[in-house]
Chain A
Amino acid sequence: MTVSCDVVVVGGGHAGCEAALASARLGVDTVLVTMEQAAIGRMSCNPSIGGIAKSHIVFELDALGGEMAKNADYTGLQFRILNTRKGPAVRSNRAQCDKYAYSGRMLAVLQQTEGLRIIEGSVSRLILTNGRLLGVETIDGSHIRANCVVITAGTFLRGTIHIGDKSYPGGRNGEPAASGLSDSLEALGIRIARLKTGTPPRLHADSLNYAAMQIQPGLVPPPFFSHAARTEWQMFHVEHRQGSDSVFHVEHPPSMLRPWPLVEPQLPCYLTHTTARTHEIVRSNLGRSSLYGGFIAGTGVRYCPSLEDKIVKFADREQHHVFIEPEGRNTPSIYPNGISNSLPEDVQLEMVRSIPGLENARILDWAYAIEYDFADPTQLMPSLESKLCEHLYLAGQINGTTGYEEAAGQGFIAGVNAARNCLGRPPVVMPRQESYIGVMIDDLVTKGTSEPYRMFTSRAEHRLALRQDNARFRLHARAKDIGLLSDAHLAETERKVGEINGEIERLSTKWDEDGISLIQMLRRPDVGYRSLSGALAGLSDDVVEQIEITTKYAGYIVREEQQIARSRHLEEQAIPAWIDYKAITSLRKESIEKLSRIRPLNLGQASRIAGVNPTDISLLALVIRRGKPWTEGAGC
């Protein structure tokens, strides 16, 4: 069988879904190949979306026209805000989602998207003729011919699952690994290395003693990620306040797209902790752990360590948190967050039962560690297209990241750029001064990674300006260029930007009786916009929020902008194609090697390569300004 399309996306995880949706929604004929349709958008590990810095990515996806924010909002079980007291720059939303509803809704969205087909199959190799990429082949020999290929294979490439001293091939619990594709990538010269990650056991909800744990309720009103859910919630409540008879309110019957109403009561999570006994059990069985028994070679996630890691590396801690999180409304499965491990089954059981509230826990699925192939992301361009093979895009965990949000952010950009490639439009490159997605991709393609890459707010130099609350406004121009949002939405954003700027301007020229400008008043920590004497009544909450935060952060944001401006000349200085690093004899060997390998687009990117120092950058700047290829002693 042969199928033809413009863009084929290999993998139906969080990266693959965003890639396929973005591509199809841009009007490009798109096919998504997945091993199993039911596994589309599956949350293989913790059933939650968001968290610190990851939430920023979800907001950015919503601002650009991605799906993740809506999918989390409409299938969320519990919504919280983290870092409330630490200010807007690091404030982050986090939603526990119904694992099955999340997956089901995403599948329904894909199925209802025009120009998008889903094909079940396992891709075994790339089809290439004379170096030209023609599509992919599945293990049953079918061909999917495409102009562009987006690989979002997650942990499936040569995936190996480890439980204690047992190991077997697998891409995820109960799912087969993909073996051939890595060979195809390696044949192109793509460097493949191993990473590992892990997941905790799943427990039966009825076997837990919740009285021994601390309850963690959700927040009302729920802090949503998406503009759509926020708007709907607001309309609903305005109607109720006005006592209307739901004239404007449309009752949505439950469907895959909307499994329950937004006002459905939230489910609580619970908090418990490990004990001295837990630590003792782990310590005395370290030799039987896949990780510590020497069965795993891949590098693990430093920021989301396994229980073995926590107990070995942080031996002075007497206990660690364990969060008890429901996996759905209609499943007894509980995700105990914080005890991911690779211990043998008998040890896992003993260990789990040493935790308060889990004394009689029944285990539904065992914890495991998984090792998988990832491709060196420095071999990608910032568009996520491979430097080694035109029309080939890589996104998600295959690029060395961890997390659904990181995967979705890359998937979206890869999908957009594959589609634009087909449409003959230039790729979208996200600058790191503008978004977390930009920071992440720039980090990956410039520095690479030797461990699973997770987003942090501290990775963003311009953290005060890159907030989740202003994603819609700061990404407006980018969203317009990408073209996935409705004209009405874009026009509304534009109007609000005008209102925000206009009002800040007005406040700076309005003075109270004591000669203090209203903007100065608003800068004070405890003064809100609506309490100002001259405040306008008609401004919406999101506009007021922007006026307040922008004003209070103004001094610092200006400083950050000055710093951005200081390095802007480096960002703007493109490195021409004729540059031959090997011929610049005064560059150090390490720099020559790294610059030749990564081939940065501009001096800014070059300056961020680890091991390239300011002297090298000055030298490069000189050579570029000379405007001619370097030769030893030329013309001197």
Chain B
Amino acid sequence: MSIGDEKDTIAGIATAQGEGGISIVRVSGPAALAIADSVFACHSPPPSRRDGGTFVHGQVTAGDNPPAGGPGATVVDEAVLLIFRAPRSYTREDVVEIQGHGGVVSAQRVLRRVLDAGARLAEPGEFTKRAFINGRIDLTQAEAVLDLIRAGSDRAAAAAIEQLGGALTSWVTTTYDDLLSLVGGLEVGLDFPDDEMPPLLIEESCRMADAVGRQLDRLLGTWDEGHVVRDGVLTVISGKPNVGKSTLFNALLGTDRAIVADHPGTTRDTLEERLIIDGILLRLVDTAGLRDTDCVIEHQGVLRAKQQMQKADLHIHILDASQPLDRTDRESLSLMPPDRTIVVLNKVDLGVTIEPSSIAEYPVISACFLKPGAVDNLKTTLASRIARYSGGPARVTISERHRQAILAASVDTREAMSLLAHGREEAIAPAVSLLRSAAEELAMITGRVYHDDLLDRVFSRFCIGK
């Protein structure tokens, strides 16, 4: 994405990809209105002669020839067109939004039509970038907006809005202040001769460094939660072939998304769909059955299944209750932490031969998926497993950029602490160098100027003579 190409007109689908009531194609740039004229048929006057802040009902047509709106033009979608004129728009450029009647396919057809008419496909975040370049929003707001755009559920949106409001800033600022107090005390020890100094408390500094380290780790802990809030809880359904994974997948979604057959190995690739339970977004993944196979395609499917299982936030592992636990199942279970796993016993109607003690660590649900209401029990258990992602109001979440900065600060702080722990005064200067770097990492999140803060901190509290 280079700078200097804002003469382009860009277009993109502004609503989430998926089923929804309405989908919006947004077009921004100098040619936005001209493009609207050529793709959108409405009663006179054409979009380019209408005022900003108005909307008009009409149709997106399939081509210029025959002319839009004229007899014989193919209708792509029925739509409402919203007109924004620069600078009173999101990007401060001319913008039109085409609100179509839902569905991925129809939104993509409208987009393709707009691109054919001269727009360029927007890169991720490019509308927001233009809003930033044109001075409509600042950088932190831009980041929060991007999170908001990407947010898959209401709770993610709440976290993004919270960040806009500065919850992250206040968390980071507290830690940063502690770090600065620590550095300040040590700096005074370096910048003034011993005889003028309060006795240097290296031990005390060590203790403070440890406290800062722990605060940073707590903040890092929110990453886990933050990514789940933003991206959804990756929930992987696994098990041997033909235990009913796809049946469960469909039952949870309430649709026939996956092909179901009695034939083992029917699912050869992983399938992913989104599901919301108690306001939490789940990315539900159906996988190929786990078994050794000579079939190359199925083997690939098993590999993918294993990859998904490694990344999973939550496992739903299905066992056939009528069969004893074998090596494949034991291996799979050994990789699944009990607090992130639900074991489902299927086909209980065929008799239970599985040894209960072998799966005692895990919450176990018995079911027969073929019966109506079979998954209600599972949904309740799922809800309780993911409840930790929904404790009260949305908490602070951090982005990847923040995580990198906080992680670096944490590593530096720990290293400084171990230097100080030896109790040698010679170690103070290198330790301070590390702690300064930690403070700078945090300052990058909050946008504060480290250097000025430090000197104020250092010199307001100490009496300095010679």
Is there a chain B Cβ closer than 8 Å to A560's Cβ? yes
Assuming the contacts A559-B437, A615-B140, asked whether A633 and B447 have C-beta atoms less than 8 A apart, the reply is: no
Residue of chain B at shortest CB distance from A562 = B437
Q: How far is the CA of A625 from the CA of B6 in the complex (A)?
A: 13
- Determine whether the beta carbon of B455 is less than 8 Å from that of A459: yes
Encode A436-464 as 1/0 by CB contact (under 8 A) with B.
00000000000100000000111101011
Q: How far is the CA of A320 from the CA of B91 in the complex (A)?
A: 62
- Residues of B within 8 Å of A, CB-based: how many? 57
B30 neighbours in A (Cβ, 8 Å) = 635-636
- Shortest C-beta distance, B90 to chain A (Å), equals 12
- Determine whether the beta carbon of B447 is less than 8 Å from that of A559: no
- Determine whether the beta carbon of A525 is less than 8 Å from that of B447: no
Residue of chain A at shortest CB distance from B445 = A614
- Determine whether the beta carbon of B139 is less than 8 Å from that of A305: no
B140 neighbours in A (Cβ, 8 Å) = 615
Tell me the A599-636 residues at the B interface (CB within 8 Å).
Answer: 608, 610-611, 613-615, 618-619, 622, 625-627, 632-633, 635-636
Among candidates A314, A464, A613, residue contacting B430 with C-beta atoms closer than 8 Å: A464
Residue of chain A at shortest CB distance from B187 = A458
- Determine whether the beta carbon of B463 is less than 8 Å from that of A321: no
Is there a chain A Cβ closer than 8 Å to B201's Cβ? no
- Determine whether the beta carbon of A553 is less than 8 Å from that of B430: yes
Among candidates A304, A313, A622, A625, residue contacting B465 with C-beta atoms closer than 8 Å: A304
Q: How far is the CA of A86 from the CA of B447 in the complex (A)?
A: 32
Encode B157-194 as 1/0 by CB contact (under 8 A) with A.
00000000000000000000000000000010111111
Q: How far is the CA of A303 from the CA of B461 in the complex (A)?
A: 11
Assuming the contacts A90-B191, A633-B92, asked whether A556 and B430 have C-beta atoms less than 8 A apart, the reply is: yes
Residue of chain A at shortest CB distance from B93 = A636
Q: How far is the CA of A310 from the CA of B463 in the complex (A)?
A: 7
Is there a chain A Cβ closer than 8 Å to B458's Cβ? yes
Is there a chain A Cβ closer than 8 Å to B218's Cβ? no
Q: How far is the CA of A632 from the CA of B88 in the complex (A)?
A: 13
- Determine whether the beta carbon of A320 is less than 8 Å from that of B465: yes
Among candidates A53, A85, A585, A627, residue contacting B425 with C-beta atoms closer than 8 Å: A85
Interface size, A (range): 35 or more
Among candidates A586, A587, A614, residue contacting B447 with C-beta atoms closer than 8 Å: A614
Is there a chain B Cβ closer than 8 Å to A87's Cβ? yes
Tell me the B413-466 residues at the A interface (CB within 8 Å).
Answer: 424-430, 432-434, 436-437, 440, 444, 447-449, 451-452, 454-455, 458-460, 463-466
B92 neighbours in A (Cβ, 8 Å) = 633, 636
A625 neighbours in B (Cβ, 8 Å) = 3-4
Q: How far is the CA of A53 from the CA of B196 in the complex (A)?
A: 16
Is there a chain B Cβ closer than 8 Å to A344's Cβ? no
- Determine whether the beta carbon of A86 is less than 8 Å from that of B4: no
Encode A248-284 as 1/0 by CB contact (under 8 A) with B.
0000000000000000000000010000000000000
Tell me the A343-373 residues at the B interface (CB within 8 Å).
Answer: none
Assuming the contacts A559-B434, A635-B6, asked whether A337 and B465 have C-beta atoms less than 8 A apart, the reply is: yes
Q: How far is the CA of A618 from the CA of B429 in the complex (A)?
A: 32
Is there a chain A Cβ closer than 8 Å to B214's Cβ? no
Q: How far is the CA of A586 from the CA of B131 in the complex (A)?
A: 10
Among candidates B91, B93, B426, B436, residue contacting A461 with C-beta atoms closer than 8 Å: B436
Q: Is the interface of A mostly helix, strand, loop or mixed?
A: loop
B136 neighbours in A (Cβ, 8 Å) = 586
A585 neighbours in B (Cβ, 8 Å) = 135
B256 neighbours in A (Cβ, 8 Å) = none
- Shortest C-beta distance, A369 to chain B (Å), equals 17
Among candidates A86, A314, A459, A464, residue contacting B463 with C-beta atoms closer than 8 Å: A314
B193 neighbours in A (Cβ, 8 Å) = 52, 82-83
Residue of chain B at shortest CB distance from A216 = B195
Q: How far is the CA of A618 from the CA of B132 in the complex (A)?
A: 10
- Shortest C-beta distance, A619 to chain B (Å), equals 8
Among candidates B4, B87, B437, residue contacting A627 with C-beta atoms closer than 8 Å: B4
Is there a chain A Cβ closer than 8 Å to B26's Cβ? no
A635 neighbours in B (Cβ, 8 Å) = 6-7, 30
A271 neighbours in B (Cβ, 8 Å) = 195
Encode B1-22 as 1/0 by CB contact (under 8 A) with A.
0011011000000000000000
Q: Interface centre among B86, B189, B447, B466, by most A CB within 10 Å?
A: B466
A622 neighbours in B (Cβ, 8 Å) = 3, 133
Encode A306-346 as 1/0 by CB contact (under 8 A) with B.
00001001100100110100000000000001100000000
Is there a chain A Cβ closer than 8 Å to B315's Cβ? no
- Shortest C-beta distance, A16 to chain B (Å), equals 26
Among candidates B191, B436, B437, B452, residue contacting A610 with C-beta atoms closer than 8 Å: B452
Q: Interface centre among B93, B196, B464, by most A CB within 10 Å?
A: B464
Cross-chain pairs A/B with CB under 8 angstroms, 19 sampled: A52-B193, A86-B428, A305-B464, A310-B465, A321-B195, A321-B196, A321-B465, A338-B465, A456-B187, A458-B190, A458-B455, A461-B436, A559-B433, A614-B139, A625-B3, A626-B4, A636-B30, A636-B130, A636-B133
Residues of B that sit less than 8 Å from A by CB: 3-4, 6-7, 29-30, 86-87, 91-93, 130, 132-136, 138-140, 187, 189-196, 424-430, 432-434, 436-437, 440, 444, 447-449, 451-452, 454-455, 458-460, 463-466
